[in-house]
Structure 1
Amino acid sequence: MRTHFIAIGGAAMHNLALALHNKGYKVTGSDDAIFEPSKSRLQAKGLLPDQEGWFPEKITTDIEAIILGMHAKADNPELLKAQELGLKIYSYPEFLYEQSKNKTRVVIGGSHGKTTITSMILHVMNYHKIAVDYMVGALLEGFDTMVHLTEENDFIVLEGDEYLTSPIDLRPKFHLYQPNIALISGIAWDHINVFPTFDNYVEQFRIFTNQITKGGILIYNEEDVEVKKVAEDCENAIRKIPYTTPEYSVQNGKTLLHTPEGEMPIEVFGAHNLNNLAGAKWVCQCMGVDELDFYEAIATFKGASKRLEKIAESNNKVAYKDFAHSPSKVSATTKAVKAQYPDRKLVACLELHTYSSLNAEFLKEYEGALDAADVAVVFYSPDAVKIKRLEEVTYDQIAQSFKRDDLIIFTNPLEFKEFLFKQNFDNSALLLMSSGNYGGLDFDEVKELMN
């Protein structure tokens, strides 16, 4: 019997395929487009489809389970054939639950910080050689895959995404995991193409807290007004543990965490990351790691990929790239870099790339998001707006939304690159925030620029 992936090339999907292959499953899959790094990683394990496209003839009764990716459409020919044959069809989160229903499920939810908190927990567990199953949204240092599944591990740590489950299941992913231990890091309106109002978005987190197993634990950021309200209003029979940002200081570009054993230098920085660290500490304690062991391990945590990732540094220049795109993340990330390098000029470049950020109505949520930057730049591609079939976003709408008179706006990738490479970055910090690449910017060239 085999497990077949419809849309195997996705970041999450190909990692689950690799995890099942490593577990001894017979895995096949299809996709109409597979890009790097998925392509090479599937090829290395013999899982890359011979041809791109959908092949309903591959869907036969010897398939034990179909795993349906979000990239596939509801009328996908392989999906229709699977439905016709009455095969068992799972979404990605459904299958993860099926693999972990006899384990203690730890689910990290929130509009921001999910990947970082999950990564911190996994780093601590790995440091202390505590084996756990996991699913995380970034490739971590010291880990081969973003998904790891076994029969024997007691815990599974899951990053709880609030986006939709599959083309035929429109529930948020984190509604399917039924956590024993849950965390909510923050609530800031996102995914407006799916959740049209803020109340509708917040409701997803209320549902999440009500699905924590009886006698389970909710760890929540009480500095976030909406999170605090959701946690306090929850009538589920669970234990509630609030957390706040711990005390810390910044000296000579180094962040020092205040611990019971004194000040401890750490690799990550920014109030938002220290807040994430506090949440991760509580989760690790609930998983059996005491406070001092947590501090020992977290001192060596360098961050998750594309989350305030340092890409270049020399003398008095430094460059970071970050996945930040929602208003709350952009604001927190920009403030973090400015606080870390208060005496340097901060050049912050944001690419508006997601459905929400390219929505004319949502743009006003960005007011003040780049205020901590000395030079604030916004790049967006009118072509991306067309591809996403959104109403045209104008230069004036962006300028008015950020409420910053000196905002620099680019729509042409070459003009943006030319601007960047003309800057004098002496005694400066460069922050590149995007889930894209500014229309084709080569980050290796940026590294050379900072030398």
Structure 2
Amino acid sequence: MEITDIDKDSLFSVVGVCGINGNIIARILMDHGYKVQANDMVNEEDCRFKSSLKDYPDMKIYYGKIPESFFTESDYMILPTALIESKSMLYQKVKKYNIPILTVQDIRDMFEPVHPVICITGTNGKTTTTTLLKHIAYSANLKPCEHNLEGLQGNTADIPSLQARLKGDVNILETGTFGYKGSLYNLAKECKPDVGVITNITPDHLSENSNFIDYARVKGELVELLDQKTLIINNDDPTIQGLLKELNYHGNIISFGVDTEPVRTSTKKCFCGKEIKVEEFIAGVGTYKCDCGIEYKKPDYIATNINDQHNKFTLITPNNEEHVFKLSINGIHNIYNAVGSIIVAHEILNISYNVIAEAVYSFKGVKGRMEKIGTIDGKQIMVDYAHNPAGITTVLKELKNSYSTLVNVITTSSESGMAGDKEILKCAAEYADYIVPASHNSYICAKKALQKGLYTDKIVLPDTMPKGDKEGTLGATIEQVLAGFNKALEIDVNLVVCTGEAAFKYKNELIRE
């Protein structure tokens, strides 16, 4: 239906307020001054996102049975898509009362996003960059629109586009992709972005037999939406440079990078079809040159004078100003995240470098990223969400700067199949002193490696590996995680770092004792 000139006295009825879309839509309507009543069939104590509704005391919510007045008083009804498609009894009743039914698209058409809209994408670093930039905005008394769905990252489906229409001063949106053509375009177009940030593009989230360049082109769908607008890119990633060349992008480009010593040499597939050699600062990112013309050049903003702990640097701006920044988190990867955030904060949000510097220093990181969760028998216990080769390499390499001995408990089953698990094991062996497999796939890879005489001085198998296969993106069961973790506690090290989504999910179980 076409939405035009809806009376401010209209009453909107939202079914499924404890679900994702219903919850956000109800709050959007309230934020724009409309009257809302809502319902969900669950009991109040079971409402998953109830905490997000606490600031809306005027919203009448019916839990469980719906009273007849819910229909007789309603001017417009918002139903979950599943109820509409199944032509459920509730849907039939709404039709009987001749109540207009609004869709998610209707809601998006009714309201413009809160501008400026900043969409952040990339393979690694999206969440930290997004969270840090929001932290800087709050420090400058700017309120980002927040979906406030507890426990949800909120970077896919309808969440970013609906979040963009909530009350706030700015939109800072993490925009993920499922890796197939059109997925990022369809997600981001309804957000109506003004600015895009691309952190990096690596093959680490690809499934087996997927094409890396096709995956990179999906990331490029955000670039296409930003034609004649502003794009902030990691200059040190040759894949991003190749993508911009292929798309012939004509918008405003602001590039950033770091000045540090390469840690190793690797190769990445170039858009021309050749392998391009990369002198890496972190995985897949560094200096590079290809015969097709893709070549490293000095970025607009560059982080230099990086200290040994990788938490302090001098940022040189395009007009050669120098500003010193100190982080409370470590890592070259976090310096990349910080620089991208600093550029957006200063160039787009007009926040002073002094305010930005204070905010960057007070930022304590994102839960699940090098997160210290306790100490057991003198051993520091840490979890990290790293679940691909680049993430494992980056995290373990940085941790070896601070800990003399560490054991990596791997709870991942790779999105790229056993080939990915094999590569994760290889990366862990490069930097960890010991490795304990704590997922079905990592255990199989570790046993095969031992049979071939590989990593024999590093791999320590759990006494038993409980049964259980990968479920969705969760690589291990709680029993498998605990089996690996308890074995790791027997090893004489300074740090036990458990990597993967399962480690993060079950972190409270690890320190329960």
TM bin, normalised by shorter chain, reads 0.7 to 0.9
Name the amino acid aligned to 2:48: S
Alignment of 1:1-400 (within 5 A): 1-2=11-12, 4=14, 8-9=18-19, 26=36, 28=38, 30=40, 38=48, 41=51, 50-51=63-64, 62-66=75-79, 81=91, 87-90=101-104, 99-101=111-113, 103-134=115-146, 153-163=168-178, 173-189=187-203, 192=206, 196-212=210-226, 214-245=227-258, 246-247=303-304, 249=306, 255-258=311-314, 264-285=325-346, 286-312=348-374, 317-339=379-401, 341=402, 343-352=403-412, 356=415, 359-360=417-418, 362-364=420-422, 366=424, 368-370=426-428, 371-380=430-439, 395-397=443-445
Q: Is the 8 A contact 2:124 2:199 kept in 1?
A: yes
Q: What CA deviation, in whole Å up to 9, does each residue of 1:288-318 have, x standing for no partner?
A: 1233432222110101222222222599643
Deviates more, 1:75-84 or 1:21-30: 75-84
Pair 1:374–1:227, CA change in 2 (3 A): same
CA distance in structure 2 between the partners assigned to 1:244 and 1:5 by the alignment: 47
Name the amino acid aligned to 1:216: K
CA distance in structure 2 between the partners assigned to 1:332 and 1:137 by the alignment: 29
CA distance in structure 2 between the partners assigned to 1:360 and 1:255 by the alignment: 35
Q: Is the 8 A contact 1:108 1:118 kept in 2?
A: yes
Pair 1:270–1:282, CA change in 2 (3 A): same
What SS does structure 1 have at the residue aligned with 2:431? coil
CA distance in structure 2 between the partners assigned to 1:30 and 1:117 by the alignment: 35
Larger Rg: 2
CA distance in structure 1 between the partners assigned to 2:231 and 2:355 by the alignment: 22
Q: Is the 8 A contact 1:376 1:407 kept in 2?
A: yes
Which residue of structure 2 aligns with residue 432 of structure 1? Answer: 498
Name the amino acid aligned to 1:302: K
Q: Is the 8 A contact 1:334 1:373 kept in 2?
A: yes
Q: Is the 8 A contact 2:114 2:164 kept in 1?
A: no
What SS does structure 1 have at the residue aligned with 2:362? coil
Name the amino acid aligned to 2:407: V
Pair 1:172–1:295, CA change in 2 (3 A): same
CA-atom RMSD, angstroms?
4.7
CA distance in structure 2 between the partners assigned to 1:97 and 1:77 by the alignment: 24
Pair 1:333–1:233, CA change in 2 (3 A): same
CA distance in structure 1 between the partners assigned to 2:87 and 2:413 by the alignment: 30
Q: What CA deviation, in whole Å up to 9, does each residue of 1:130-167 have, x standing for no partner?
A: 23334589879xxxx999767775531111111389xx
Name the amino acid aligned to 1:114: K
CA distance in structure 2 between the partners assigned to 1:329 and 1:37 by the alignment: 35
What SS does structure 1 have at the residue aligned with 2:502? coil
Q: Is the 8 A contact 1:138 1:304 kept in 2?
A: no
Shift of 1:202: 1.5
Give yes or no for the alignment of 1:417 onto 2:472.
no
Q: What CA deviation, in whole Å up to 9, does each residue of 1:419-442 have, x standing for no partner?
A: 53352576512222232358x845
CA distance in structure 2 between the partners assigned to 1:428 and 1:47 by the alignment: 54
What SS does structure 2 have at the residue aligned with 1:349? strand
Q: What CA deviation, in whole Å up to 9, does each residue of 1:159-178 have, x standing for no partner?
A: 1111389xxx9965234433
Pair 1:434–1:163, CA change in 2 (3 A): same
CA distance in structure 2 between the partners assigned to 1:75 and 1:404 by the alignment: 54
CA distance in structure 1 between the partners assigned to 2:407 and 2:47 by the alignment: 30
CA distance in structure 2 between the partners assigned to 1:164 and 1:6 by the alignment: 29
Count of paired positions: 413
What SS does structure 1 have at the residue aligned with 2:191? coil
Shift of 1:228: 2.4
Pair 1:136–1:398, CA change in 2 (3 A): farther
Which runs of 5 or more residues in structure 2 are unaligned? 1-10, 153-158, 259-302, 316-320, 467-477
Pair 1:284–1:255, CA change in 2 (3 A): same
Q: Is the 8 A contact 2:410 2:442 kept in 1?
A: no
Q: Is the 8 A contact 2:412 2:439 kept in 1?
A: yes
CA distance in structure 2 between the partners assigned to 1:105 and 1:96 by the alignment: 15
Deviates more, 1:423-432 or 1:109-118: 423-432
Pair 1:255–1:192, CA change in 2 (3 A): closer
What SS does structure 2 have at the residue aligned with 1:244? strand
CA distance in structure 1 between the partners assigned to 2:211 and 2:400 by the alignment: 32
Pair 1:151–1:273, CA change in 2 (3 A): closer
Shift of 1:24: 5.5
CA distance in structure 2 between the partners assigned to 1:277 and 1:220 by the alignment: 13
Pair 1:247–1:152, CA change in 2 (3 A): same
CA distance in structure 1 between the partners assigned to 2:209 and 2:13 by the alignment: 32
Q: What CA deviation, in whole Å up to 9, does each residue of 1:210-253 have, x standing for no partner?
A: 111x43110011222212222343323311111113236556x6
Shift of 1:269: 1.0
CA distance in structure 1 between the partners assigned to 2:427 and 2:40 by the alignment: 41
CA distance in structure 1 between the partners assigned to 2:210 and 2:90 by the alignment: 30
CA distance in structure 1 between the partners assigned to 2:15 and 2:244 by the alignment: 37
Which residue of structure 2 aligns with residue 55 of structure 1? Answer: none
Pair 1:73–1:17, CA change in 2 (3 A): same
What SS does structure 2 have at the residue aligned with 1:163? coil
CA distance in structure 1 between the partners assigned to 2:23 and 2:460 by the alignment: 38
Pair 1:14–1:334, CA change in 2 (3 A): farther
CA distance in structure 1 between the partners assigned to 2:25 and 2:237 by the alignment: 33
Name the amino acid aligned to 2:138: N
Q: Is the 8 A contact 2:43 2:64 kept in 1?
A: no
CA distance in structure 2 between the partners assigned to 1:79 and 1:279 by the alignment: 50
Q: Is the 8 A contact 2:185 2:221 kept in 1?
A: no
State the identity %: 17
Shift of 1:187: 1.4
Which runs of 5 or more residues in structure 1 are unaligned? 53-57, 382-392
CA distance in structure 2 between the partners assigned to 1:367 and 1:148 by the alignment: 38
CA distance in structure 2 between the partners assigned to 1:206 and 1:125 by the alignment: 27
CA distance in structure 2 between the partners assigned to 1:14 and 1:409 by the alignment: 45
Give yes or no for the alignment of 1:443 onto 2:491.
no
